[in-house]
Homo-oligomer: A and B are copies of this chain.
Amino acid sequence: MRKANIVVVGATGAVGQVFLSIMEERRFPVDRLRLCASPRSVGKRLKVNGMEVEVEATTPEIFEGADFAFISVSTNISRQLVPIAARAGALVIDDSSAFRLEPDVPLVVPEINPEDLEHHRGVTAIPNCSTTQMVMALYPLHKASPIKRIIVDTYQAVSGTGTLAMQELREQSRTLLDGGTAKPSVYPHQIAFNVLPHIEPFMEDGYTREEQKMLYETRKIMHAPNIAVSATCVRVPVYMCHSEAVHVEFEHPMSPEEARELLAAFPGVTVIDEPSANRYPLAWQAAGKDDVFVGRIRRDSSNPNGLAMWIVSDNLRKGAALNAIQIAEEVLKRDLLARRRV
């Protein structure tokens, strides 16, 4: 496999850091690596593959000669940077929601819809973390028996917001344990010892943007334009890994045994489902792991064609950085880099 020139934008952020460590773990074939971040991190030196790499300013020129631009920044900054990187000739793998629903931008979970990459025009997107782990657990079932409707309520870790949010949880927790009062800064309300039914801005219909993503991204990734989804996305005082309670309705009944078999056979999914031994997926155990963990699979007591289940995954890995690297690996395998100049 030829080696690739890579630019990582947001290299010092929560996702960027995990991206670099997974790149090492998987021995991703890197030729030249350039790291960018916001002005306050420029000049910092990060250790990658045993070498020190200096963080540079994010200029248009930095993308010259890059094969891949991995961009993990805010949606607003992505909106500006992605076209610049693509114009410079890099294949962009964007972590934001800015371009995910554009018809000519493949939104890819490589275990599910890798073939969508064939149609890229220089920009690809990775799905929202809460969507990725859900479709990883539902797609193998959907192939066996089409899914009609998904109800999902989430328990999302603060690492999804970023390193400042992790710090806020830590500091608020300590302040409250010491008898003090929490001062919210990253979140609109106290996150320590509390839960917030509010992730991303509220939209016209009363859902948040995060909740809407779970509908529209699921449809796009699974090529299932009629799937119905209702989500409540909730931030919980957990550092790492999102958990999800999912109630899914199929066209035809599916037994928990069949679901477990289908899931166990699907790459990137691990079934942990022995409730009698207190074994089910747990956020703190999934941290740092690549897989999506599924358990508590049972017949939905409110619907003969339904199943209920519990899905946990590391939101920074499969929910972001790992999925991005898998996309790059798939692009190399399929020899799709040339397409970016079409």
Chain A positions 192-246 with a Cβ under 8 Å from a chain B Cβ: 193-198, 202, 205-207, 215, 228-230, 232, 234, 236-239, 243, 245
Contact string against B for A residues 170-195, beta-carbon threshold 8 Å, 1 for contact and 0 otherwise: 10011001000000000011100111
Establish whether residues A232 and B308, one from each chain, have CB atoms under 8 Å apart when the complex forms: yes
Establish whether residues A302 and B228, one from each chain, have CB atoms under 8 Å apart when the complex forms: yes
Complex Cα spacing A281 to B196, Å: 9
Complex Cα spacing A243 to B308, Å: 19
CB < 8 Å neighbour of A284 from B177, B193, B234, B303: B193
CB < 8 Å neighbour of A174 from B153, B177, B284: B177
Complex Cα spacing A299 to B217, Å: 20
Given contacts A207-B298, A215-B301, A256-B206, contact A310 B197 (CB under 8 A): yes
Given contacts A205-B301, A206-B298, A296-B206, contact A245 B197 (CB under 8 A): yes
Contacts of A196 in B (CB 8 A): 282
Contacts of A301 in B (CB 8 A): 205, 207, 215, 228-230
| A169 to chain B: closest residue by CB | B193
- Number of copies of this kind of chain in the complex: 2
Complex Cα spacing A186 to B19, Å: 37
Tell me, rounded to whole Å, the shortest Cβ–Cβ distance linking A204 to chain B.
10
Tell me, rounded to whole Å, the shortest Cβ–Cβ distance linking A12 to chain B.
23
CB < 8 Å neighbour of A283 from B195, B207, B230, B280: B195
Establish whether residues B205 and A298, one from each chain, have CB atoms under 8 Å apart when the complex forms: yes
Which of A196, A197, A297, A303 has the most C-beta atoms of chain B within 10 angstroms of its own C-beta?
A197
| A190 to chain B: closest residue by CB | B284
Whether, in the assembled complex, A247 has its beta carbon less than 8 Å from a beta carbon of chain B, the answer is: yes
CB < 8 Å neighbour of A197 from B198, B206, B280: B280
Establish whether residues A198 and B229, one from each chain, have CB atoms under 8 Å apart when the complex forms: no
Given contacts A151-B151, A230-B306, contact A206 B275 (CB under 8 A): yes
Tell me, rounded to whole Å, the shortest Cβ–Cβ distance linking A158 to chain B.
9
Whether, in the assembled complex, A138 has its beta carbon less than 8 Å from a beta carbon of chain B, the answer is: no
A-B pairs, 10 with minimum CB distance: A206-B298, A228-B302, A153-B153, A232-B245, A153-B245, A230-B302, A202-B275, A188-B278, A194-B284, A197-B310
Given A190-B284, A206-B275, 12 other A-B contacts at CB below 8 A? A149-B302, A153-B245, A155-B236, A173-B177, A189-B278, A197-B280, A206-B296, A215-B301, A229-B302, A230-B308, A232-B310, A236-B236
